Structure 1
Amino acid sequence: MEVVVVVVCCLLLAKKGAAEDAAAEGGGEGAQPQPHFILIVSDDLGWNDVPWNNKAVKAPHMEALAREGVILEQSYVQPICTPTRSALLTGRYPFTIGRQHDVIRPSQPTGVNLSLTLLPEVMKDLGYSTHAVGKWHLGFCSWDYTPTERGFDTFYGYYTGSEDYFTHKRSWTLRERNKDSTTTTTRKECNDLECDTPIVSGHKTITRSFLDLRNNETPDQHQEGTYSSGLFASRVEELLARDPQVPLFLYLPFQSVHTPLQVPPEYIRQYSYIKNQNRRTKLGMVSAMDDAIGRVVTALKNTGHYNNSVIVFTTDNGGPTLEAGNNWPLRGNKTTLWEGGTRGAAFVHSPLLPNPGTSNPALIHVTDWFPTLVQMAGGVPPEGIHGVDQWSAITEAGLSQRSLMVYNIDNTTGFAAGVRMGMYKLLVGNPGPGEWTPPPEGIADHPIPDPDSIALTPDGDQVVNDRESNAIATEDEQQPDVVAEEEEESAEGNKMDYSEPHVFGEEVSRLLLEMSGRNDTQLRLYNLNSDPLEQHNVAATSTQVVKVMVTLLKSYMFEYSPADSPHNAQDANPQNFDGVWSPGWC
């Protein structure tokens, strides 16, 4: 154990210089000419929602890209949407820039800090033509926060976090005070398919839908009835008609497969054998996105871009099991710090790869794509980022350029954090609901245990069905009272498998108290090499590792920035902007 402690302490001392060292030594000596980059992000795609992890998923284009490229076995993202996108485009941990707690809701007057340099800005300076097609979700209350002001030459897509796939509209709910009511008016956003119009506490609830689709800064009023994945593919085909000699950076964050669960019926029919209706629809959405990706690859080949291209594909977080996503056999789901919420389905595909057709176990974090792509393009990443260049690890199947990683640190409504050190993962506080949810369709590469064997895990966590497994609702619609209730429920569900601070001595208790303000913080330690499903908390038998990792976590707190989560602003009401979700109210 003394050897482990000495090695770990050396890692801790070297932590702050890791990014710079990796940048100097990494494999980012970009090819000539500069490669084209296609950065594809799927929304709410679970670990078990992709064909290379689940034979039931019909997505032949994605499967071919993955299996003929490099499948990334340990590619980590944030537990939820906006934090992942902010990490991807800034190269920084969200807890250092105020984006660790939640998504940016449509009526919140904020966005990714304007002092930060985004990836497209750096690529543009390197001579790239930069384009974004799809979901933004990084703030739009001011034009300054929008894509074409943050480094993108063009933008086609939507600003908010979710909307109807066919109408491209997002709802605004206004609770108007009745004539005889003495209560005040409140406003909230909701999903188009979940809003109703009851009379509640003297209020009449009125829901209206407003357009959120733009071609650059101009609303596109002419696409109603066109499914979004096909619409975005058409836009990409137009972009690829340009000169392939000009290096291209294309950011393609699909709406798919976020709620609402919508897809043309022909995509559902191929899953008719699945009894779970929502699961049929969800997998149909994956197949529709796959068709769009197939169109993009065909266009790359037809226009002369493909032979010098690098395609990076990743999800933005784990699948929401309440909404038919699935992360089997991983533990947890979207919004949680468990592997099911943070270990993302991902691959790299490129004719430039020297090792196609392989799987890679290197530890990669979403922040790493920033310096990896920049250095491949011949540039130098900005100072202060947390990502490291991983191209040599990906292409040479070598060791990862990182051994340390922060899952997240959030001290907004209660302390929750996760940190990785080599094979070890430490969770501090409440990591969120911790169930293992079997595939709803009943088909997987590994057998599903019989009910008796999955009723109770060694640590006392129950495996529950798909309807019960995710305590978090659609991210944009979640309200504070719901959050509090769900945190209480998840704490109850996880209470049997955590260790208490006093077991590890006064120093650990003091550090945890300084970080969290609590003296009863939950601690969990997992050896992911031997226990990738997080079934066995080994904290009690690895006290020295816990002490070192708590110290490591405390060192990151010096970079912690409080969450930027302002109250909703009624000035965001699209009725103020001719019925379109628009900037101009902050």
Structure 2
Amino acid sequence: MGMPPLHLLISILFGQPVLGHVRPHILFVLVDDLGWADVGFHRDKANPEVVTPNLDSLVASGIHLNRHYVHHMCTPTRTSVQSGRLPVHVNTRLSGPCQDDTGIPYNMTGMAEKMKQAGYKTHYVGKWDAGMSTPQHTPHGRGYETSLNYFSHKNDFYNQSNMQTCCDSDPTIVDFWRTDRGASDVNGTGYSEFLYRQELVNIVQRHDPELPLFLFYAPHVAHCPLQVPESYYSKFAWMADDEDQCKDRMQGIPVDPSNPALEYKCRQQHAAMIMLMDEVVGNVTAALKVRNMWEDTLMIFSSDNGGPVRILENAANNWPLRGGKFGNFEGGIRATAFVSGGFLPENVRGSERGGIIHIADWYGTLCALAGVDASDQRAAAAGLPPIDSVDMWPYLSGAADASPRNTIPVGDTCLISGSWKLMTAATTPSLWQGPRYPNGSTRESEAETPGCSDGCLFNVEQDPTEQRNWYSLRPDIVASMSRQLQQLQLGFFENQDRFANSCPREVANCACWLARNRYGGFLGPYALLDPEIPEEAHAMVV
């Protein structure tokens, strides 16, 4: 390896950002359950079902990332981006916020902590889903000075009641958090995405443009439950061939509580939510432009996984890619992604990058842009995996012709190496969706059929839709990649954090008990809260 750049050597030695180093404002948008075909710039021609004018404009003046990979589930992706590790080195499970080992291990350093070290003002808005057990696991504990967030996979868009948590049997408990306490000031006052929009715009309006801003926005859209204001929903009422199968899973959850009579249609709701999200993104970028900050901003946009294709609860579309959320086909792990903003060099605007990038790589990339060392000394002292993140800025800015990343161990049974992807076990879903999905002829069973039961090898650079299986035709590549995957598996990591909770011994469900008895009905951290319980009480097993 060559010598690190001088500015990073100074940062490593003294733990401080380099004076005079140009630090862009950062806007990071991580969308929930967005499908490949759910944006206009992935459609061959204009489609009235896909209304994303702001995103289309941003990618037209930015860089389209054609092979930007994530995990096939939300929690691993979100822990990956915040920690700078590939999911196999931080978390690969879809766990709930009430479990000690959910999210990022206690002693890993968060991305926002690095940005604070570089002098950034750091703010988080939206879905967290990267741990909650101790205050250290919250956005604030990971370096965000302020947050307006929810902790779990989903909550109600209108009243923010908890869903899919250890407390979901009690809908009076609210999953909505402001920095270090329940978000009682805004809970129940409106549609979540509008509350997030107001928070984002307020942050931009209050910010001193002379200081670098790191603003992370993680919309709830387009995760279920599919809920959206009627004014948006009605714009897509013409979808005559839409499905209503998703209402079977969403009984009792209204499209818009102001009109309980609205019929629950899958594709119509999904399209309306995507349009709304696009509008909010446009509002935030407009606010940055009003403050004359956009020309100094780098915007990063990505989905957290491919779109879910099960129409019992959602209606995303990954056409023409194969598969979707929960599976390792490209439709599940190749994210809709781009970078934009005035900080991009003019000569790369309106271009595309086809090299491999993983969402974990933004940690190291942003550290390099901020002028701070990306290495994690705290994690090293605890025996935890180092960061995997690779600085992508030379590749994105045009200084380098190729991506510095060539390999991604996706999981125990999947490896990406250059053009090739090896899959050694069955994965679901495996279908190819059409341009219009779902429609009146769609069968739910199609989304449940596994693929690659006998192994698959695809050239995903030349064949991104994974039509031709080379597994039996190229045994040499299969053997080589299988050996490589087996070697990489030796370094795979599973978080085994355990903590002393802060409840009376007789309490069986500490998180829910504290929500009722400490946080005024809001879900929040449940361990290492009391002064008499030292931080050393947690057991770190690696």
Q: State the TM-score bracket (shorter-chain normalisation).
A: 0.7 to 0.9
| 1:106/1:189 contact within 8 Å kept | no
- Counterpart among 61, 67, 74 of residue 60 in structure 2: 67
Identity of aligned residues (%): 29
The answer on whether the counterparts of 1:19 and 1:386 sit within 8 Å (CA) in structure 2 is no
Aligned to 2:424: 428
State the 1:441 CA deviation: 5.2
Verify: 1:52 aligned to 2:16, yes or no: no
- Indicate yes or no: 2:331 matched with 1:340: yes
Deviation at 1:563, TM superposition (A): 5.7
Alignment-mate amino acid for residue 584 of structure 1:
Y
Deviations 1:504-562 (A, max 9, x none): xxxxxxxxxxxxxxxxxxx2111113321112221111111111111111121121123
What secondary structure, in the 3-state scheme, does the structure 2 residue paired with 1:208 have? coil
The reply on whether 1:304 has 2:292 as its aligned counterpart is: yes
Question: What residue is the counterpart of 1:539 in the other structure?
Answer: 471
Q: Give CA-to-partner distance per residue, 1:399-431, whole Å, 9 cap, x none.
A: 11111122223xxxxxxx211111110012232
Structure 1: which amino acid aligns with 2:146?
T
d(CA) in 1 for partners of 2:326, 2:344: 33
Q: Give 3-state SS (helix, strand or coil) of 1:210's partner.
A: coil
CA 117–213 in structure 1, closer or farther in 2 if over 3 Å, else same: same
1:154 and 1:466 map into 2 onto residues whose CA distance is 44
Letter in 2 for 1:59: T
- Larger helix proportion of the pair: 1
Residue pair 2:73, 2:304 contacting (<8 A) in 1 also: yes
2:492 and 2:508 map into 1 onto residues whose CA distance is 26
CA distance in 2, matches of 1:31, 1:267: 46
How many Å separate the matches in 2 of 1:233 and 1:64? 19
- CA drift of 1:585 comes to 4.4
- Distance, in Å, in 1 between the alignment partners of 2:130 and 2:284 is 24
CA distance 1:81–1:298, shift in 2 (3 Å): same
TM-score scaled by length of structure 2: 0.80
1:91 deviates by: 1.1
Matched, 1:163 2:155: yes
Structure-1 residue corresponding to 2:226: 261
Question: CA shift at 1:125, angstroms?
Answer: 0.7
**Mean CA deviation greater in 335-344 or 530-539:** 530-539
Change (3 A) 1:541 1:31: farther
Going from structure 1 to structure 2, the CA distance change for 1:369 and 1:30 (only over 3 Å counts) comes to farther
Q: 1:176: which partner in 2?
A: none
CA distance in 2, matches of 1:297, 1:528: 33
1:61-460 superposed matches below 5 A: 61-97=54-90, 99-100=91-92, 102-110=93-101, 111-171=103-163, 207-221=170-184, 222-241=186-205, 242-274=207-239, 275-276=241-242, 277-322=265-310, 323-354=314-345, 355-382=348-375, 384-396=386-398, 398-409=401-412, 417-440=413-436
Corresponding letter in the other structure for 1:65: L
Mapped partners of 2:318, 2:362: distance in 1: 23
**Cα distance, 1:32 vs structure 2:** 4.7
TM-score, L = length of structure 1: 0.74
Instruction: Give 1 or 2: higher strand fraction.
Output: 1
Q: Show structure 1 runs of 5+ residues with no match.
A: 1-16, 174-187, 191-205, 410-416, 444-450, 452-463, 472-489, 500-522
Tell me the SS of whatever aligns to 1:234.
helix
Q: What SS does the corresponding residue of 2:194 show, helix, strand or coil?
A: helix
Q: Is the 8 A contact 2:40 2:51 kept in 1?
A: yes
Contact 1:317 1:342 in 2 (8 A): yes
Q: CA deviation at 1:389?
A: 1.2
Q: Tell me, yes or no, if the aligned pair for 1:41 and 1:253 is still in contact at 8 Å.
A: yes
> What is the distance in 1 between the residues matched to 2:373 and 2:157?
38
Given the superposition, is the C-alpha separation of residues 229 and 137 from structure 1 closer, same or farther in structure 2, using an over 3 Å criterion? same
- Retained in 2: the 8 A contact 1:438–1:465? no
2:3 and 2:287 map into 1 onto residues whose CA distance is 35
**What is the aligned-residue RMSD (CA, Å)?**
2.9
Shift of 1:136: 1.0
Distance 1:295 1:18, change over 3 A: farther
**Structure 1 partner of 2:245:** none
Give me the whole-angstrom Cα distance separating, in 2, the residues matched to 1:305 and 1:425. 41
User: 1:440, 1:466 within 8 Å by CA — same for their partners in 2?
Assistant: no
Q: Distance in 2 between matches of 1:583 and 1:466?
A: 41
Residue type of the partner of 1:465? T
- Which residue in 2 is equivalent to 1:575? 516
Which of residues 32, 39, 45 in structure 1 aligns to 2:28?
Answer: 39
Q: CA deviation at 1:442?
A: 8.1
2:493 aligned partner: 561
TM superposition shift of 1:284: 0.5
Distance of 1:526 and 1:224 partners within structure 2 = 48
Alignment partners' CA distance in 1, 2:108 and 2:227: 35
SS at match of 2:336: strand
Aligned residue type for 2:321: L
Separation of aligned partners in 2, 1:157 and 1:367: 21
